[in-house]
Amino acid sequence: MLRQVLLAASHSDRVRKLVETSPVTRDAVRRFIPGETMDQALDVTGDLTREGLLVTLDVLGELTPDAGQAQAMVEHYVELLERLASTGLAQQAEVSLKLTAIGQAFDEDFTLENARRVCTAARSAGTTVTLDMEDHEHVDSTLRILMELRRDFPDTGGVVQAYLRRAEEHCAELAYEGSRVRLCKGAYGAPDDVAFTDRAEVDKSYVRCMKVLMGGKGYPMLATHDPRLVDIAGALAVLFDRDPSSFEYQMLYGIRPQEQRRLASQGARVRVYVAYGDQWYGYFMRRLAERPANLRFFLRSLMSRS
């Protein structure tokens, strides 16, 4: 119930204004979002990579309403990728791209061409792109665009959300040689006929999906902070005789940083999802909805500043 309330709040203009204008809230947001500028994001990327971690950078913004804003987002990504190359960070950092930020809400062909520009810039920089998966209404479109991009950019990563009932099916379709697939639980709301709503059922789906990906020939990117799922992933790596270089763990910036470093120190590949920008409200609310621990941290932050 609390998760549904927070997800609903992520779409509320009234709540958004209250949260965005509160200096107390903005301070607490820094746990999950290191800054609003490219320079701040690159500074954090440098710090993380020096500690042996990998990074994926996400420019916050979604559901862009017009072509001009979509083009501006593409230009930002192109500049970001050029900066990754010039600072020597491209070998350790890639980018995550939300398709609704570059036109998916109004024109799929336009979005594909914009995504091609970002992938071209990534190739020039010596790194890769992963297409974020957003709400359930965009799944089929996102998978279509992913398949088209992979014709010319086979290293383009895709995402499967375990809370969706078709997740295992999508994993089976994507578990082929050279296919980079991020598996996450999912941070959006969806009707019962489309998604599992019980937390235990989502966890079971995640494990089923992990088995498919870890037993396949692709490159699984296991995005979870759940200690039980991390342990199961390690067991599956042994079961399927996977070398540590053949898969990676992914975790969000600011969540379980000690665990990120522990896994990396043991030889695992660990990638930190670093989101930045001024359109942080929806992202922040979904982080609170994902884990009760995140909400407890946020409330403690508010009380400590009151």
Q: In terms of C-beta density within 10 A (0-12 exposed, 13-18 middle, 19 or more buried), how is residue 45 classed?
A: buried
d(Cα 114, Cα 116) in Å, to the nearest integer? 5
Active site residues: 132, 182
d(Cα 168, Cα 196) in Å, to the nearest integer? 12
306 three-state secondary structure: coil
3-state secondary structure the chain: CHHHHHHHHCCCHHHHHHHHCCHHHHHHHCCCCCCCCHHHHHHHHHHHHHCCCEEEEEECCCCCCCHHHHHHHHHHHHHHHHHHHHCCCCCCEEEEECHHHHCCCCCHHHHHHHHHHHHHHHHHHCCCEEECCCCHHHHHHHHHHHHHHHHHCCCCEEEEECCECCHHHHHHHHCCCCCEEEEECCCCCCCCCCECCCHHHHHHHHHHHHHHHHCCCCEEEEECCCHHHHHHHHHHHHHCCCCHHHCEEEEECCCCHHHHHHHHHCCCCEEEEEEECCCCHHHHHHHHHHCHHHHHHHHHHHHHHC
